[in-house]
Amino acid sequence: MAQFGKFDDESLQQFIADFDSKVNGQEMANLMEDIGKDLQILLINTVKKKTPPGPSKQLKRNWFPGDLKYTGNTLTVEVHNNLEYAPHVEYGHRQTPGRYVPAIGKRLKRDYVPGKHMLENSMNELDSKLDQILGAKVDKFLHDFFWG
């Protein structure tokens, strides 16, 4: 039977333990929080660009970040607009034709106004860039671990 000699795997075991502590420890939680905050900022900036200005520009100004929830392998990023009419602009709404609206100084002409879907479209746009955004952050995390 052939004998190959002795192999000391202490440094390999130490490397595995260090990597495991980073991936399952506070550093990974910090990375996920940083990613979440970056995604919130990017989503808010994107949705503001897609939000129709309206006469007062209130709808555009009222986008703000909500909670970040990291559960298991899932990161939930919340973005809110607290204006009462925001869902109507997003999804569309019915109205009564002929009714006079003093705020705009006109009579309504259509019975349905289609939604602008500014949040939905912004989320889809961000989703298409997600691999690129996450890849850069994870690459930096791994680079710092191996060579930092």
Per-residue pLDDT tens digits for 76-104: 999 999 999 999 999 999 999 999 999 88
- The answer to the question of residue 59 being in a domain is yes
Nearest-5° Cα angle at 25, 20 to 26: 150
Instruction: Count the domains in the chain.
Output: 1
Note the pLDDT of residue 89.
94
Asked, for residue 140, whether it belongs to a domain, the answer is no
- 4 in any annotated domain: no
Q: Is residue 148 part of a domain?
A: no
pLDDT tens for each residue of 24-79: 778 888 888 888 999 999 999 999 999 998 778 899 999 999 999 878 778 899 99
**Higher-confidence position of 2 and 36:** 36
Give residue 81's identity as a one-letter amino acid code: N
Residue 96 in domain: yes
Contact 68, 36 (CB under 8 A): yes
Backbone phi, psi, residue 114, to 5°: -70, 150
17 in a structural domain: no
Q: What is the pLDDT of residue 138?
A: 86
**13 in a domain, yes or no?**
no
Domain that holds residue 47: 23-135
Which tokens sit at 83? 């204006």
pTM attached to this predicted model: 0.79
The kind and range of the H/E element at 123 are helix 118-147
Domain assignment present for 3: no
